[in-house]
A and B are shown apart, each in its own frame.
Chain A
Amino acid sequence: MSREDEAAGAWRRLAALTPARIALGRAGSGLPTREVLRFSLAHAQARDAVHTPLDVEAVREGITALGFETLVVASAAPDRATYLRRPDLGRRLDEDSAAALAAAARNPVDLALVVADGLSARAVHEGAVPLLAALAPALAGAGLSLAPVVVATQARVALGDAVGARLEARAVAVLIGERPGLSSPDSLGVYLTFGPRPGRTDAERNCLSNVRAAGLRPDLAAFKLSWLIDRALTRELTGVSLKDESDRLIEGPAERQALGQ
């Protein structure tokens, strides 16, 4: 084996140790053409994830098929360009949506679920229904009362506070498209907030991130989320004082049972 082959083999083995873009080779000071194009494609996919509008009807149909009622709302950000510049508008309901939620509110409920486009509609298209499908049996098993699932557009995490307050929910879980990374344009985040009302801070929420087929799998995310919901409703809080200790169960039989394994 030549010295060059030896080096190439060593770098291939090193590259297998990390998802980072190492051992790319070079053309002078620049990247090889294939790497320039690979990077461009990944960036294009992430950009498309940010700018593709949420297919509200398809998402709604998928959620309805699981047996949930649904409602559709919009934030006060009228379009994507405004949404990106004005996070404050993405945290508020537009007037029609606020009225529609007030009209839909019945008795107080344990939990409101919000499915929001956030920064990646793709994450919602691909990940929201599988996560809700995995979550539904746990919610039913716990006997929780639910508000209709709210599908929200041009939405930030904190829009869930306004939704949860109007629906008189004890807690709100927001399933939202995360800021896409170059290698993760399809990542869903889940934010759980006890006692939702406008003005809640991120320190008062619990978060599961990187929910996607190649990251935190939907079945495992649903297991963790139902664990957090149970603790949040029991202890009547979320945030920094509620640590996710569901991992302790993961080696145990309960988790395997919960995941149907």
Chain B
Amino acid sequence: MSYRHVVGPRTFVFADLAELMAKASPPRSGDRLAGLAAESAAEGVAARWCLAEVPLAEILARPLIPYEADDVTRLILDTHDAAAFGRIGHLTVGDFREFLLTAPPETLAAIAPGVTPEIAAAVSKIMRNQDLILVARKARVVTRLRNTIGLPGTMAVRLQPNHPSDDPAGIAAAILDGLAYGCGDACIGINPASDSVQGLAGLLHLLAETIERFAIPTQACVLTHVTTTLEAMNRGVPVDLVFQSIAGTQAANASFGVTLPLLKEAHEAALALERGTVGDNVMYFETGQGSALSADAHHGIDQQTLEARAYAVARAFRPLLVNTVVGFIGPEYLYDGKEIIRAGLEDHFCGKLMGVPLGVDVCYTNHAEADQDDMDTLLTLLGTAGVTYIMGIPGADDVMLNYQSTSFHDQLYLREVTGLKRAPEFAAWLVRMGLTDADGALRPGGGMPLLAGLAA
């Protein structure tokens, strides 16, 4: 079914819902690369006018990728909560935007299981940045394993102590530095340089011993392929969180070497270890706009809609953490600071609207038209939007992955400006250790209690 919109003497025609959604997307290089972007600014706005008039029920009834052809579509439709959808099923996309702006937090929580990724993506396309911030701020998602992440007024940080050759002493040094800055409540998570099971096991033992030595209420993760983590679990290695990169189509997931049954198997194996103390959210997923196009698995769908579909995959496994690595993939998908900022806000909004605990790796590569000022802007906006967590990387410079993200200092800045607190169990630990005062401010002394604990 085609869609049309008249602007003065001109009629814009869109062949189907996929084309309408793609052309309604705010401009970005990845959609241009895929040949899906609006051909003029006016066509883009005409598409938004037209999309605003589409009923949500019609989006639900017309899967962008056929049910028979894609297991992510099947997952979305088979797990759709018709009762939750009942509260919004009579609305158009335009009405839904206004509904969201006025809805209280409990209403957003109630409709989340009825919001499909395509519905979240559609409404985001007609929202301004301030709309994305305002609604996301009201949509709280709380998860637990050894602490409580996502409570109102809090933001967590993943301590990311990467080292170019996985040197244990170098990683331990970066962990101590990060803890001294009050980072690590989301998790202490290493991207390993090596993908061997043996290397993974060594790093997981290092993390488990560190967490035990200081009795830190947090969880460890080594971000390696799910099959490697499964093998580690089979060998009795301590695994708190199972990590996997995921995408929004079956074919893109296949390019990552993952299937939904494989994720289910890993989820069940991690649950069986019962390593949580206050909850059982044991999965950690990463996503990013452009991954499906990069894998030539995009089905002619725009990259932001496909990104939202990845959150449907995540949602099925009740994750502790999900983050969009928003500027990592490069300028062919998000060209500059403006596109990265917009995408970061969209991803965060869509994830939260769908009930997913979304964090953002606020980041860029050196061939993108972006710099640390752009990251400051996006970081500040996300702090206002209630982001679940951000990355804490020494000096914002990841020496293993060669990109720039946010630093231990950046989270201090954001807490000072916004008043955001850490996960409560972790905040209490920092006070017990003498690292912060009761208010969460760092005490002078540069982490001496940690150094003393190390010597003991």
Contacts and interface: CB of A to CB of B under 8 A. Distances in A.
A183 B331 contact: no
A26 B412 contact: yes
Given A7-B446, A47-B366, A87 B332 contact: yes
Contacts of A14: 173, 176-177
Given A23-B177, A39-B396, A50 B366 contact: yes
A4 B163 CA distance: 27
Nearest to B409: A31
B404 interface: yes
Interface in B345-399: 365-367, 371-372, 393-397, 399
Interface residues of A, number: 43
B447 interface: yes
B32 A42 contact: no
Contacts of A21: 394-397, 407
Nearest to A181: B402
A39 B395 contact: yes
A46 B172 CA distance: 28
Given A3-B445, A47-B366, A39 B174 contact: no
B164 interface: yes
A67 interface: no
A20 B367 contact: no
Contacts of A49: 366
B395 A85 contact: no
Contacts of A119: 366-367
B430 to A, nearest CB: 15
B323 interface: no
A50 B367 CA distance: 6
A88 interface: yes
A183 B371 contact: no
Nearest to B364: A43
A153 to B, nearest CB: 16
A7 B366 CA distance: 34
A150 to B, nearest CB: 23
B392 to A, nearest CB: 12
Contacts of A183: 397, 399
Contact of B366 (A4, A15, A40, A182): A182
A30 B446 CA distance: 14
A18 B367 contact: no
B331 A85 contact: yes
Interface string A127-165: 000000000000000000000000000000000000000
A180 interface: yes
Interface in A14-38: 14-15, 17-24, 26, 28-31, 35
B171 interface: yes
Contacts of B129: none
A179 interface: yes
A26 B32 contact: no
Contacts of B172: 17
A182 B173 contact: no
B72 to A, nearest CB: 23
Given A29-B412, A29-B416, A119-B367, A19 B399 contact: yes
Given A18-B171, A39-B396, A24 B409 contact: yes
Contacts of A185: 366
Interface string B95-117: 00000000000000000000000
A28 B330 CA distance: 33
Interface string B33-58: 10000000000000000000000000
A200 interface: no
Of the candidates B176, B331, B446, the one having the most CB atoms from chain A within 10 angstroms of its own CB is B446
B173 A7 contact: no
B413 interface: yes
A30 B372 CA distance: 13
A35 B395 contact: yes
Contacts of B445: 3, 7
Contact of B177 (A22, A40, A46, A84): A22
Nearest to A85: B29
A43 B412 contact: no
Given A20-B161, A47-B366, A84-B331, A30 B409 contact: yes
B31 to A, nearest CB: 11
A179 B448 contact: no
24 contacts: A4-B446, A7-B445, A11-B447, A17-B172, A18-B167, A18-B170, A18-B174, A19-B170, A29-B409, A29-B415, A31-B409, A35-B395, A39-B395, A46-B366, A84-B335, A85-B29, A85-B32, A85-B33, A85-B332, A85-B335, A87-B332, A179-B366, A182-B399, A184-B402
Interface of B: 29, 32-33, 161-164, 167, 169-174, 176-177, 330-332, 335, 365-367, 371-372, 393-397, 399, 402-404, 407, 409, 412-413, 415-416, 445-448, 451
Q: Which 7 A-B pairs have the closest CB atoms?
A: A21-B395, A181-B402, A18-B170, A29-B412, A46-B366, A22-B177, A14-B173
Given A19-B170, A22-B173, A30-B412, 4 more contacts: A7-B445, A7-B451, A42-B397, A43-B372
